[in-house]
């Protein structure tokens, strides 16, 4: 249940000082908070990003802040990145390559659910599409940062507790391994860290609100699977399926109305 509010890592550093009192320098704190966000791996709290990548000799550089790749499209009808960034070109969905000889830029034409036959793989900080030259658009998730490049953390209490306990645990571990902290105290911090970490991740997995729940419901409750959804990048997967019912004996059809609730809001 992520509400979208964020705080900087400095707020987590201050909370750790108030709650635990460990002295942590700014460089360590920034690194540990970034590692914490990466370990949680919760998509809804990451920044949704789009990168336009030129392809040369069958490869293109991955974004420096890439955390999780969502989807990739082949951009056609453009000649420069500036055109892509201004909304030009036509986007065609791509698939993950199943060809074991994909490195030779083989193009698999046996694709029955989308007009695009383009494929790709990623490796060695690069993306390898099935074409040698051109442009792609990549939707991906990145660890959120502010305008200064500082790491941002969700402002929900579960995340504030989890992040501050993460810093306290790592600071305590450094003391514990050199026998500067008692076992009982270290394990107390570690136990609370594990509990708050799990709480934060599970809290973020809940639906944001009833609107989110409605979209999830509509994407699952379907009599006929939508095999073409990938062609539109799942853009309208939140829309309910329209169902037609045959009338009794007269050969006519009836459609369930969009509004199934009575005007006075009573069932």
Strands 47-55 and 134-142: antiparallel
Confidence of residue 260 (pLDDT cuts 50, 70, 90): very low
Q: Which residues contact 92 (CB under 8 A, 6 or more apart)?
A: 73, 74, 75, 76, 115, 116, 118
Residues in the chain: 267
Strands 119-123 and 95-96: parallel
pLDDT per residue over 50-68, tens digit each? 999 999 988 899 998 888 8
Q: Which residues contact 146 (CB under 8 A, 6 or more apart)?
A: 8, 152
Asked whether the beta carbons of 108 and 98 are under 8 A apart, the reply is yes
User: What's the rounded Cα separation, in Å, for the pair 3 and 204?
Assistant: 9
51 - beta bridge partners? 138
What is the domain partition of the chain in residue ranges?
6-44+146-205, 47-142
Answer whether residue 128 shows pLDDT above 80. Answer: yes
pLDDT per residue over 18-41, tens digit each? 999 999 999 999 999 999 988 887
Confidence (pTM): 0.70
User: What's the rounded Cα separation, in Å, for the pair 52 and 138?
Assistant: 6
**Average of per-residue pLDDT values in the chain:** 82
Question: For residue 217, which of 207, 226, 227 has the smallest C-alpha distance?
Answer: 207
- For range 72-92, the mean pLDDT: 91
Asked whether the beta carbons of 103 and 57 are under 8 A apart, the reply is no
pLDDT per residue over 192-221, tens digit each? 999 999 998 888 777 777 887 888 888 888
* CB-facing half-sphere around the CA of 130: CA atoms within 13 A: 23
Strands of 47-55's sheet in order across: 47-55, 134-142, 68-76, 90-93
pLDDT per residue over 226-245, tens digit each? 777 777 777 777 777 776 66
pLDDT per residue over 138-193, tens digit each? 989 898 888 888 889 988 899 999 999 999 999 999 999 999 999 999 999 999 99
First to last CA, the chain: 28
């Amino acid at each position: 249940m992520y509400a979208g509010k964020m705080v900087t890592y400095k707020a987590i550093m201050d909370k750790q000082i108030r709650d635990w009192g460990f002295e942590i320098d700014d460089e360590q704190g920034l690194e540990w908070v970034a590692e914490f966000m990466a370990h949680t791996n919760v998509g809804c709290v990451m920044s949704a990003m789009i990168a336009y990548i030129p392809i040369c000799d069958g490869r293109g550089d991955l974004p420096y802040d890439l955390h999780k790749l969502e989807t990739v499209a082949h951009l056609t009808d453009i000649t420069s990145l500036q055109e892509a960034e201004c909304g030009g070109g036509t986007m065609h969905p791509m698939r993950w390559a199943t060809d074991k000889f994909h490195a030779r830029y083989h193009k698999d034409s046996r694709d029955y659910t989308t007009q695009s036959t383009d494929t790709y793989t990623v490796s060695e900080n690069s993306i390898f599409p099935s074409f040698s030259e051109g442009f792609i658009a990549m939707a991906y998730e990145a660890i959120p940062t502010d305008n200064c490049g500082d790491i941002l953390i969700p402002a929900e209490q579960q995340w504030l507790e989890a992040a501050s306990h993460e810093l306290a645990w790592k600071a305590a571990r450094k003391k514990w391994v050199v026998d500067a902290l008692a076992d009982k105290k270290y394990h107390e911090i570690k136990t609370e860290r594990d509990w708050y970490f799990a709480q934060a991740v599970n809290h973020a997995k809940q639906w944001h609100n009833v609107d989110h729940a409605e979209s999830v419901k509509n994407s699952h409750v379907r009599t006929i699977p939508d095999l073409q959804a990938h062609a539109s990048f799942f853009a309208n997967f939140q829309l309910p399926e329209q169902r037609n019912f045959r009338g009794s004996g007269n050969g006519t059809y009836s459609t369930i109305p969009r509004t199934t609730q009575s005007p006075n809001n009573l069932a």
